[in-house]
Amino acid sequence: MECREPGLVRDEDLLAYLAGERVRPRIEQHVANCAHCTQRLADLRRLDFLLLSKLYRWDCPPNQVLGEYQLGMLDRETTLAVSLHLRACVACTAELHALGAFLADDPMLVAQASPVQATATPTAQTNNHHAHPRQAGGTLKRLLDYAGNDARRIIATLLPPAPRLASVRGATSNDLWPRRYSAHDFSLSLQVERATNRSDLLQLIGFVTRQNSPLDALQGTPVQLSSQVDAPLTQLVDDLGNFLFPSLSPGIYALELQTSEGTIVIEQIPIEVQEK
């Protein structure tokens, strides 16, 4: 399979296209009609997803450490390390705020949990860490198992856009694609593009990974996409962690990933034409 117009599209053009930057209309038209360049674009996107799944937030503390930090269960040295990390990490700060919001809604957890501050005295930290270890451990387990074992629904968190080779200035996190989400130890990336068969339709491309698990561990996982207008659609994750919903009408959708840990839910996905 060869390019229909060799030399017209460079890798730099494809990278800019993936990043949502403005490219020449001729480039867009060529990519939409050239099977060779469409495959090049897909290969670059997959490489981008793989690199981000390996490198994005590589230095962030695990979710359980953040939970123990919020509950005041860490020793002084680890608490200081997490506090310093939070000063520079927007994603972990957002997760901690979501954790705090959950604690605030549960009187039992509020009574038992008190976040440790980096400036707390050693005595206060020692008392907080050792006063009721069984209660604290049970609280953390309850927190991590928040939705229960039945019909567990895990709402995914939209993450701030990661640094890219090419970026869109002046855009907000709601404008930028691909969108990246976190749900416990799962990471999801979503991208919206024009459908290959019809220019008035769109397609949703997804990539999902799980921390410390190979890509094919999620093969066969059902993914459901639904809206208030059309009937729900279901696809399966392939051996590389990808899934695809082709030929979608513009609208607001919700996505559900059926995992062994529960149903990961992404709400309010705007699938619409992306203006260049």
What's the pTM value of the predicted model, to 2 decimals?
Answer: 0.47
pLDDT in tens, 209-254: 998 888 889 999 999 999 888 888 999 999 889 999 988 989 999 9
Nearest-angstrom CA–CA distance, 199 and 93: 40
Give the chain as a 3 state SS string.
CCCCCCCCCCHHHHHHHHCCCCCCHHHHHHHHHCHHHHHHHHHHHHHHHHHHHHHCCCCCCCHHHHHHHHCCCCCHHHHHHHHHHHHHCHHHHHHHHHHHHHHHCCHHHHHHCCCCCCCCCHHHHHHHHHCCHHHHHHHHHHHHCCCCCCCCEEECEECCCCCCCCCCCCCCCCCCCCEEEEECCEEEEEEEEECCCCCCCEEEEEEEEECCCCHHHHCCCEEEEECCCCCCEEEECCCCCEEEEEEECCEEEEEEEEECCEEEEEEEEEECCCCC
Average pLDDT over residues 1-5: 80
For position 107, what pLDDT does the model report? 54
Query: What integer best gives the mean pLDDT of the chain?
Result: 75
Both structure tokens of 72: 């005041």
For position 252, what pLDDT does the model report? 92
Q: How far is CA 144 from CA 69, 79, 112, 129, in A?
A: 13, 19, 15, 19
Burial of residue 70, with CB atoms counted within 10 A of its CB: 0-12 exposed, 13-18 middle, 19 or more buried: buried
Average pLDDT over residues 37-53: 76
For position 264, what pLDDT does the model report? 92
Q: Which domains does the chain have, with CATH numbers?
A: 1-56 (no CATH), 63-149 (no CATH), 177-276 (2.60.40.10)
pLDDT: which is higher, 156 or 56: 156
